[in-house]
Amino acid sequence: MEIYNTACPRNCYSTCSFKVVVDGGKVINVKPNPNNAATPEGVCLKGISYVERANSPDRILFPHKRNPDGSFSRISWDEAYSIITQKLIHFRKEYGAQSVLFYAASGMSGLLNEISGRFWRKIYGGATTVYGNLCWPAGLEATRLTLGENKHNVPWDLENAKLIVLWGKNSSESNIQEMIPIGKAVDNGAKLIVVDPRRTDSSQRAHLLIQPKPSTDGALALAVAHLLIKNGWVDTDFIAQNVSGYEQFASSVKDCNPQWASAICDVPVDFIHKLAEAIGTIKPMTLIPGYGMQRYSNGGQTTRCLLALSVLTGNIGKPGACWHYANLQSYVFDDVLEPLCYYPPSTPDGIIRRSIATARLGADMLAQDNPPLKMVWVERGNPITQNPNTSKVLEAFRKLEFRVVVEQFFTDTALEADIVLPAKNMFEQTDIIGSYWNPYVQLVQKVVEPAGEVKTEVTIYHRLAQDLGFTKEQADQVLIPPTDQGVTDFLNGKLSAFPQLSLEQLKQGPVLAPGLEEIAFTDGVFRTPSGKIELYSQQAADSWGVNPLPSYDVGVDATEGSNAYPLYLMSPNTKNRIHSQFGNLSVVKMVAGEPVALINPDDARERGIANGDRVRVYNSRGEVVVTADVTFANRKGCVTIPNGWWRTQGCSVNLLSEGRETDMGHGTAFHDNKVEVEKLNGKA
């Protein structure tokens, strides 16, 4: 029996460190690793389920080919390589390299993902790729425009806060490790305020719960800013020394009084006063915004409005005082620490054409005609489930002549493939990861050999390079040798710029990122054009065409005929899955149950719906049929269905969503959707 230090490489706030127990070449257990001060008490349910995920009988262990009847049959790797190579050569010759779409998402992070891009650019000679991101770019860009970069205090600094505001953030589901320092702060007398249309587990110890209408958070924040300025609850010394644009901002919110915001947000005026008084008089404050709010069409400006509250009160750069959105300090290997990779170039380079927006994947795929798309290669993603407007994405995929998906399980996307290649899991190849919450650089160690006939992407691309005419030596130079030593040499090359880091050191556990500022911005350096925090940002206007000041812009209702669809659809994350991952595992199914739609009792009563009824949730784009969960946890006018359910599990919520971008950052405005709910005959 052997025990290794490793870390979770999923797209999750926590990026937990843990110890994995291996016996007889098989993963048999996971245990906490207390050496990570951000995640000392161990992994979540998803982390525990890694034992099943690694050993699941449903895991894809061999290449498969689609049969004419839609079923799949096991084939050899040689046959898979031969089919793929023939298609790649054919499409490149007849239509050009950009007739192939390379789609990679964030299913597993790591430095080795770089190899994929090398293959498509330098080996195949180009491809069509996507720009933008499904997750967080609007908030990243809003923070960058204001503060100059994305970083925040270390997670355990939350214990120093006297006021914690969870604004659209449900840490108990999406970042459970964060609840530990929050709980300690509350135990020590800190106040907790939660702003969320839902009453979640995160609000159980809250002193105040405010439930605004979805997408109206910007108006609520501006009303709070109005009161902060009116009542003199601003840090004038901090503003004078560090802030640009205060006078313009103060003038812009003169009319943003609580009555104005109350009419927009449907929040009682006295609640707005209570929120403003707490933010204005209790220090230090840490404001923790969630990612859900910036997934509306007004998400970037909403984020800027919230961030202004931390700026006005001087809650930046001090212990317990923090804008706690994204911490990219551990991304030390990136050439840039901002989401510039999400931006489409002004002029396509003729090799990698970034003309397809992640937010509009289906529609943009269908629109390509110079050349038209003929093939897609998907890895680390499940776009048919996770991208907006599932029906449009399906249409685009089914129009293609050839589809390759690299996957661990038969997801919705894998079921649409012509060739499915088995993907490695996190225990089968060594890699290095950072985190966008905790400040550690971590090693994901290879602890077992790949199961069945699983091959790593490094190996797959190396073989395809040779089949496309490159010699082994040429493939070694452009990619890396597909061996453990090749991986080690590649990672050592990345580490060579950092004397503080080594593979041997990382094997012992997580290492704090070189150059870490435990209290972000304590040096008073802001990498903006003015060198100060910018409430007025000319960059925002020039780059995105938005108001240079934080402003409330009405969110776009993405549903045609919105009067017919009166209910806001919310599709938050859940602790039981990371988007569409883990939900197929039996240990998760036991806890997660079946998909449900949460609906307020008033809305249910108006529609004759009782708890447990089967209901149809629909709009002009599609429908899902689920069980009604009638609960006061949902505010009136809202329906909640967590995202990530597969179509084969009966509830792909993106059948109801539209594909459009956020106001900045090329993010995805998932949440601008309205629906109606009707009762069906019979109980669940």
Write down the pLDDT at residue 355: 84
327 in Cβ contact with 435 (< 8 Å)? yes
pLDDT tens, residue by residue, 489-501: 999 999 999 998 9
Residue 307 has pLDDT above 90, yes or no: yes
Mean predicted confidence (pLDDT) in 563-587: 89
Residue 560 has pLDDT above 90, yes or no: no
* Cα three-residue angle 175-664-329, rounded to 5 degrees: 45
Q: Which CATH class is domain 562-683?
A: mainly beta
Tokens of 366: 């269908």
Write down the pLDDT at residue 341: 40
One-character DSSP codes across 241-296: HHEESHHHHHHHTTT--HHHHHHHH---HHHHHHHHHHHHHSSSEEEEE-SSGGGS
Residue 298 has pLDDT above 90, yes or no: yes
Confidence tier at 313 by pLDDT (50, 70, 90): very high
Residue 293 has pLDDT above 90, yes or no: no
60 in Cβ contact with 591 (< 8 Å)? no
Residue 445 has pLDDT above 70, yes or no: yes
- 215: CB partners within 8 A, 6+ apart: 293, 296, 297, 298, 302, 554, 555, 568, 671, 672
Q: Cα(307)–Cα(300) distance, rounded to whole angstroms?
A: 11
pLDDT tens, residue by residue, 2-38: 999 999 999 888 899 999 999 999 999 999 999 999 9
Asked if the bond preceding 510 is cis, omega within 30° of 0, the reply is no
pLDDT tens, residue by residue, 31-53: 999 999 999 998 988 999 999 99
**Which residue do the tokens 């790729």 mark?**
129
Write down the pLDDT at residue 52: 94
Write down the pLDDT at residue 335: 57
Write down the pLDDT at residue 348: 64
Give the burial class of 69: count Cβ atoms within 10 A of its Cβ; 0-12 exposed, 13-18 middle, 19 or more buried: exposed
* HEC letters along 111-160: HHHHHHHHHHHHHCCCEEEEECCCCCHHHHHHHHHHHCCCCCCCHHHHHH
pTM of the model: 0.95
Share of the chain above pLDDT 70, in %: 97
582 in Cβ contact with 576 (< 8 Å)? yes
**H helix and E strand count, the chain:** 23, 27
Confidence tier at 558 by pLDDT (50, 70, 90): very low
Mean predicted confidence (pLDDT) in 382-390: 95
Closest CA to 38 of 458, 439, 414, 363: 439
Residue 683 has pLDDT above 80, yes or no: no
Q: Cα(219)–Cα(298) distance, rounded to whole angstroms?
A: 11
Tokens of 475: 């493939």
pLDDT tens, residue by residue, 182-222: 999 999 999 999 999 999 999 999 999 999 999 999 999 99
One-character DSSP codes across 633-653: TBPTTEEE--TT--GGGT--G
Write down the pLDDT at residue 350: 75
Write down the pLDDT at residue 336: 39
The dihedral over CA atoms of 278, 280, 285, 289, expressed in degrees to the nearest 10, equals 80
Domain 2-55 has CATH 1.10.3470: no
Tokens of 78: 């040689």
* HEC letters along 551-601: CCCCCCCCCCCHHHCCEEEECCCCCCCECCECCCCHHHHHHHCCCEEEECH
Instruction: Tell me the torsion sign for CA atoms 539, 544, 548, 552.
Output: negative
Lowest mean pLDDT among 175-179, 392-396, 558-562, 656-660: 558-562
Closest CA to 436 of 150, 60, 180: 150
pLDDT tens, residue by residue, 101-115: 999 998 899 999 999
Q: Cα(495)–Cα(459) distance, rounded to whole angstroms?
A: 22
Give the burial class of 371: count Cβ atoms within 10 A of its Cβ; 0-12 exposed, 13-18 middle, 19 or more buried: middle
Mean of per-residue pLDDT scores for the chain: 94
Write down the pLDDT at residue 287: 98
Lowest mean pLDDT among 169-178, 249-258, 267-276: 169-178
Residue 353 has pLDDT above 70, yes or no: yes
Give the burial class of 508: count Cβ atoms within 10 A of its Cβ; 0-12 exposed, 13-18 middle, 19 or more buried: exposed
Tokens of 663: 């106001």
Confidence tier at 77 by pLDDT (50, 70, 90): very high
Q: Cα(40)–Cα(33) distance, rounded to whole angstroms?
A: 6
Tokens of 213: 């209408």
| Beta-bridge partner residues of 4 | 20
Write down the pLDDT at residue 490: 97
599 in Cβ contact with 679 (< 8 Å)? no
Residue 668 has pLDDT above 80, yes or no: yes
What are the φ and ψ backbone dihedral angles of 269, each rounded to 5 degrees? -60, -40
Tokens of 653: 């919520």
Q: Cα(470)–Cα(462) distance, rounded to whole angstroms?
A: 9
pLDDT tens, residue by residue, 609-632: 999 999 999 999 999 999 999 999
Say whether 214 sits in a helix, a strand or coil. Answer: coil
Share of the chain above pLDDT 90, in %: 87
Q: Cα(577)–Cα(589) distance, rounded to whole angstroms?
A: 10
Residue 561 has pLDDT above 70, yes or no: no
Mean predicted confidence (pLDDT) in 583-596: 90
Domains of the chain, by residue range, sit at 2-55, 64-125+350-428+450-512, 137-329+531-544, 562-683
Domain 137-329+531-544 has CATH 3.40.228.10: yes
pLDDT tens, residue by residue, 220-234: 999 999 999 999 999
Q: How far apart are the first and last CA of the chain?
A: 46
Closest CA to 205 of 176, 220, 177, 184: 184
Tokens of 220: 């609520």
The CATH number of 64-125+350-428+450-512, from 3.30.200.20, 3.40.50.740, 3.30.565.10, 3.90.1150.10, is: 3.40.50.740
